[in-house]
A and B are shown apart, each in its own frame.
Chain A
């Protein structure tokens, strides 16, 4: 199958954006986990580990491609104060939706194994968003187009 290989903004930028989203997710789960207990805290730790694994893979991938690997920031601005379980779950849903959006965008800029990896990442984010929505008591627990803006 043919694919246009260098549409703007380009594969390296798409993957760099995904990496930035993974950095932010890892940071956010540090905040989220503090406000959760029991199985939900365990799920937050597992989610954080999953985002770390995606981050590590992306760093290697971008390095090997010879491109610039964006650095993590020291901290991130939260969209609202996260002070309790409800706001922590809400942030978890948003973080996964955001990361899903960047992986979805990467699909158009990748082919072959790279695209399959982006799809796996998008799917994992969507699944975690669904589980967090369920934990937060939100209905429906699914969205029609995971990662689509708007």
Chain B
């Protein structure tokens, strides 16, 4: 059930009551949204490195973007400034190496989304479940 960074905001409740200074606590969906954006960036970089993969990878990159946008909508505020852009993988231009690196990132993303789904309130569970399932299908599409 541990969600790493996502657990931190619990202590922020008192701050909310004061209501004035200080940023609101981060939404537990932030790490999932950031990961979706990072996954999209990885796919776009892979497509640039190996354009022959574009047909296979573009729909997946688009799905990650759709996930990030939907998560952002549910969070209800813009992405925190200074969100670190994850460096694209250094898999070079070899298609097999690129696909393998993407698989590793999807595997991790699937696990994180499933954990977020397990911990989410009812009104967010379906979205996170769809994202976890989508990432599983991406792994299948990369095979």
Contact surface of A with B, Cβ cutoff 8 Å: 1-4, 7, 100, 103-105, 107-110, 112, 115-116, 118-119, 122-123, 125-127, 129-131, 134, 139-148
Known: A4-B122, A140-B59. A119 touches B114 (CB 8 A): yes
A118 to B60 alpha-carbon distance, docked (Å)? 24
Contact B60 A1 (CB under 8 A): no
Interface residues of B in 110-139 (CB under 8 A from A): 114, 117-123, 125-134, 136-138
**Nearest CB to that of A107 among chain B residues?**
B125
CB distance from A103 to the nearest CB of B (A): 8
CB distance from B138 to the nearest CB of A (A): 6
CB distance from B24 to the nearest CB of A (A): 19
Contact with A along B56-99 (1 / 0, CB 8 A): 00011011001100100000000000000000000000000000
B14 CB within 8 Å of chain A: no
Contact A126 B136 (CB under 8 A): yes
B8 CB within 8 Å of chain A: no
30 A-B contacts (beta carbon < 8 Å) = A1-B1, A2-B121, A7-B122, A103-B129, A104-B126, A104-B129, A105-B126, A107-B126, A107-B129, A110-B125, A115-B125, A119-B117, A119-B129, A119-B133, A122-B133, A123-B133, A123-B136, A126-B133, A126-B136, A127-B137, A129-B137, A142-B59, A142-B140, A142-B141, A143-B137, A145-B127, A145-B130, A145-B134, A147-B126, A147-B129
Contact A108 B123 (CB under 8 A): yes
A103 to B47 alpha-carbon distance, docked (Å)? 33
CB distance from B6 to the nearest CB of A (A): 11
CB distance from A3 to the nearest CB of B (A): 5
A75 to B127 alpha-carbon distance, docked (Å)? 32
Determine the chain A residues whose CB is within 8 A of the CB of B67 once the complex forms: 144
Contact B119 A142 (CB under 8 A): no
Contact B117 A145 (CB under 8 A): no
A147 to B128 alpha-carbon distance, docked (Å)? 12
A2 to B66 alpha-carbon distance, docked (Å)? 27
A134 to B118 alpha-carbon distance, docked (Å)? 30
A100 to B66 alpha-carbon distance, docked (Å)? 19
Contact A104 B121 (CB under 8 A): no
Contact A130 B130 (CB under 8 A): no
Contact with A along B28-56 (1 / 0, CB 8 A): 00000000000000000000000000010
**Nearest CB to that of B134 among chain A residues?**
A146
